[in-house]
Chains A and B, each alone.
Chain A
Amino acid sequence: MLQFLLKRLFYGFLVLLGVITVVFLLFNVLPGDPARMMLGQRADINSIEAINKDLGRDKPLTTQYFNYLNDFSILSIHNISDTNNYWYLDRTKYTSAIKLIPFGNYALILKMPYMRRSYQSKRMVTEIITEAFPKTVLLAGVAMLFAVIIGVIVGVLAAIKKDGFFDRISLVLSAFGMSLPSFFAAILIAWLFAFVLAKYTGLSMFGSMYTVDDFGNGEYLDLKNLILPAFTLGIRPLAVIVELTRSSMLDVLSQDFIRTAKAKGLSPYHIITRHTLKNAMNPVITAVSGWLASLMAGAVFVEYVFDWKGVGVVIVDALEKYDFPVVMGVLLFISIILVIINIFVDILYGMLDPRIRLS
Chain B
Amino acid sequence: MEKELLQIKNLTVEFKTDSGLNKAVDDISLSLKQGEILGIVGESGSGKSVTSLAIMQLISCPPGRITKGEIIFHKKDTSQQDLLKLDEKEMRKWRGNEIAMIFQEPMTSLNPVMKCGKQVQEAILLHQNIHKKEAKAKTIELFAEVLLPNPAEVFNKYPHELSGGQKQRVMIAMALSCKPSLLIADEPTTALDVTVQKTILELLKNLQQKNGMSIVFITHDLGVVAEIADNVAVMFKGRIVEQGNAITIFNHPVHPYTQGLLACRPKLTMRLAHLPTVNDFMNETHFKSVEITKNERDDNQRIIYSKPPILQVKNINVDFSTQKSWMGNVTAYFKAVNNVSFDVYEGETLGLVGESGCGKTTLGRSILQLIKASSGQIIYKGRELSQLSRNEMRDCRQKLQIIFQDPYSSLNPRISVGSAIMEPMKVHNILASDKARKARVIELLERVNMNENQFHRYPHEFSGGQRQRICIARAIALNPELIICDESVSALDVSVQAQVLNLLNELKLDFNFTYIFISHDLSVVKFMSDRMIVMKKGKIVEMGEADDIYNHPSTDYTRNLISSIPGV
- Select the stretch in B103-111, B347-355, B435-443 that faces chain A: B103-111
Asked if B74 is an interface residue, CB under 8 A from chain A, the answer is no
Which chain A positions have C-beta within 8 A of B93?
A: 265
When C-beta atoms are compared, the residue in chain B nearest to A359 turns out to be B323
Asked if B127 is an interface residue, CB under 8 A from chain A, the answer is yes
Asked if A257 is an interface residue, CB under 8 A from chain B, the answer is yes
Whether the pair A256, B122 counts as a contact (CB closer than 8 A) is: no
Which chain B positions have C-beta within 8 A of A352?
A: 113
Which chain B positions have C-beta within 8 A of A264?
A: 95-96, 122-123, 126, 174
Contact A354 to B58, CB < 8 A, known contacts A257-B108, A266-B126? no
Which chain B positions have C-beta within 8 A of A265?
A: 92-97, 123, 126-127
B431 to chain A, nearest CB (A): 41
Whether the pair A279, B112 counts as a contact (CB closer than 8 A) is: yes
Asked if B344 is an interface residue, CB under 8 A from chain A, the answer is no
B159 to chain A, nearest CB (A): 9
Whether the pair A257, B92 counts as a contact (CB closer than 8 A) is: no
Whether the pair B126, A260 counts as a contact (CB closer than 8 A) is: no
Which chain A positions have C-beta within 8 A of B123?
A: 264-265
Q: Tell me how many residue pairs across A and B have CB atoms closer than 8 Å.
A: 73
In the bound complex, what is the Cα–Cα distance between A7 and B108 (angstroms)?
33
Asked if B335 is an interface residue, CB under 8 A from chain A, the answer is no
Chief secondary structure at chain A's binding surface = helix
Segment 32-64 of A: residues with Cβ below 8 Å from B: none
In the bound complex, what is the Cα–Cα distance between A249 and B123 (angstroms)?
23
Asked if B160 is an interface residue, CB under 8 A from chain A, the answer is yes
In the bound complex, what is the Cα–Cα distance between A6 and B326 (angstroms)?
9
* Pick from B58, B96, B112, B114: contact of A259, CB under 8 Å: B58
Which chain B positions have C-beta within 8 A of A251?
A: none
Could you mark each residue 250-261 of chain A with 1 if its beta carbon is under 8 Å from any beta carbon of chain B, else 0? 000001110111
Asked if B171 is an interface residue, CB under 8 A from chain A, the answer is yes
Asked if A355 is an interface residue, CB under 8 A from chain B, the answer is yes
Contact A256 to B105, CB < 8 A, known contacts A262-B58, A263-B96? yes
Whether the pair A355, B96 counts as a contact (CB closer than 8 A) is: no
In the bound complex, what is the Cα–Cα distance between A259 and B186 (angstroms)?
12
Could you mark each residue 1-34 of chain A with 1 if its beta carbon is under 8 Å from any beta carbon of chain B, else 0? 0010011000000000000000000000000000
In the bound complex, what is the Cα–Cα distance between A283 and B95 (angstroms)?
32
Which chain A positions have C-beta within 8 A of B111?
A: 257, 260-261, 275, 279
Offer 11 A-B interface pairs, CB within 8 angstroms, sorted by A: A256-B103, A262-B58, A263-B56, A264-B96, A264-B126, A265-B123, A265-B126, A278-B113, A278-B114, A279-B112, A353-B112
Could you mark each residue 63-86 of chain B with 1 if its beta carbon is under 8 Å from any beta carbon of chain A, else 0? 000000000000000000000000
Given A257-B112, A353-B112; 13 other pairs, CB 8 A cutoff: A257-B108, A259-B58, A263-B58, A263-B95, A263-B103, A264-B123, A265-B94, A278-B113, A279-B111, A279-B113, A352-B113, A355-B112, A355-B158
Asked if B100 is an interface residue, CB under 8 A from chain A, the answer is yes
Which chain A positions have C-beta within 8 A of B112?
A: 257, 279, 353-355
Asked if A99 is an interface residue, CB under 8 A from chain B, the answer is no
Residues of A within 8 A of B (CB): 3, 6-7, 255-257, 259-267, 274-275, 278-279, 352-355, 359
A119 to chain B, nearest CB (A): 41
When C-beta atoms are compared, the residue in chain A nearest to B112 turns out to be A355
Whether the pair B97, A355 counts as a contact (CB closer than 8 A) is: no
Segment 349-366 of B: residues with Cβ below 8 Å from A: none
Whether the pair B122, A266 counts as a contact (CB closer than 8 A) is: yes
When C-beta atoms are compared, the residue in chain B nearest to A282 turns out to be B113
* Pick from A260, A266, A267, A359: contact of B103, CB under 8 Å: A260
Which chain B positions have C-beta within 8 A of A275?
A: 111, 114
Contact A274 to B108, CB < 8 A, known contacts A259-B58, A265-B95? no
Contact A267 to B92, CB < 8 A, known contacts A260-B171, A279-B113, A354-B113? yes
Asked if B445 is an interface residue, CB under 8 A from chain A, the answer is no
Which chain B positions have C-beta within 8 A of A256?
A: 103, 105, 108-109
Asked if B41 is an interface residue, CB under 8 A from chain A, the answer is no
When C-beta atoms are compared, the residue in chain A nearest to B98 turns out to be A265
Residues of B within 8 A of A (CB): 56, 58, 92-97, 100-101, 103, 105, 108-114, 122-123, 126-127, 158, 160, 171, 174, 323, 326
B488 to chain A, nearest CB (A): 24
* Pick from B95, B96, B326: contact of A7, CB under 8 Å: B326
When C-beta atoms are compared, the residue in chain A nearest to B107 turns out to be A256
In the bound complex, what is the Cα–Cα distance between A352 and B158 (angstroms)?
12
A-B complex: 7 closest residue pairs judged by Cβ atoms: A265-B95, A265-B96, A256-B108, A264-B96, A354-B158, A263-B101, A257-B111
In the bound complex, what is the Cα–Cα distance between A262 and B323 (angstroms)?
38
Whether the pair B96, A257 counts as a contact (CB closer than 8 A) is: no
In the bound complex, what is the Cα–Cα distance between A264 and B58 (angstroms)?
11
In the bound complex, what is the Cα–Cα distance between A352 and B114 (angstroms)?
9
In the bound complex, what is the Cα–Cα distance between A301 and B174 (angstroms)?
55
Which chain A positions have C-beta within 8 A of B101?
A: 263
A356 to chain B, nearest CB (A): 10
Whether the pair B109, A355 counts as a contact (CB closer than 8 A) is: no
Whether the pair A274, B100 counts as a contact (CB closer than 8 A) is: no
Which chain B positions have C-beta within 8 A of A279?
A: 111-113
Whether the pair B122, A274 counts as a contact (CB closer than 8 A) is: yes
Which chain B positions have C-beta within 8 A of A355?
A: 112-113, 158, 160
Which chain B positions have C-beta within 8 A of A3?
A: 326
* Pick from B100, B158, B323: contact of A263, CB under 8 Å: B100
B281 to chain A, nearest CB (A): 33
In the bound complex, what is the Cα–Cα distance between A66 and B123 (angstroms)?
64
In the bound complex, what is the Cα–Cα distance between A278 and B113 (angstroms)?
8
A135 to chain B, nearest CB (A): 37
A88 to chain B, nearest CB (A): 38
In the bound complex, what is the Cα–Cα distance between A6 and B327 (angstroms)?
11
Between B58, B92, B97, B105, the greatest number of chain A beta carbons within 10 A of the residue's beta carbon is seen for B92
In the bound complex, what is the Cα–Cα distance between A121 and B112 (angstroms)?
57
In the bound complex, what is the Cα–Cα distance between A280 and B257 (angstroms)?
44
Which chain B positions have C-beta within 8 A of A260?
A: 103, 109-111, 171, 174
When C-beta atoms are compared, the residue in chain B nearest to A351 turns out to be B113
Which chain A positions have C-beta within 8 A of B110?
A: 257, 260
When C-beta atoms are compared, the residue in chain B nearest to A354 turns out to be B158
Which chain A positions have C-beta within 8 A of B109?
A: 256-257, 259-260
In the bound complex, what is the Cα–Cα distance between A259 and B56 (angstroms)?
11
Between A260, A261, A264, A266, the greatest number of chain B beta carbons within 10 A of the residue's beta carbon is seen for A264
Between A257, A275, A353, the greatest number of chain B beta carbons within 10 A of the residue's beta carbon is seen for A257
Which chain B positions have C-beta within 8 A of A6?
A: 326
In the bound complex, what is the Cα–Cα distance between A279 and B119 (angstroms)?
14
Which chain A positions have C-beta within 8 A of B160?
A: 354-355
Which chain A positions have C-beta within 8 A of B174?
A: 260, 264
In the bound complex, what is the Cα–Cα distance between A265 and B95 (angstroms)?
5
When C-beta atoms are compared, the residue in chain B nearest to A252 turns out to be B111
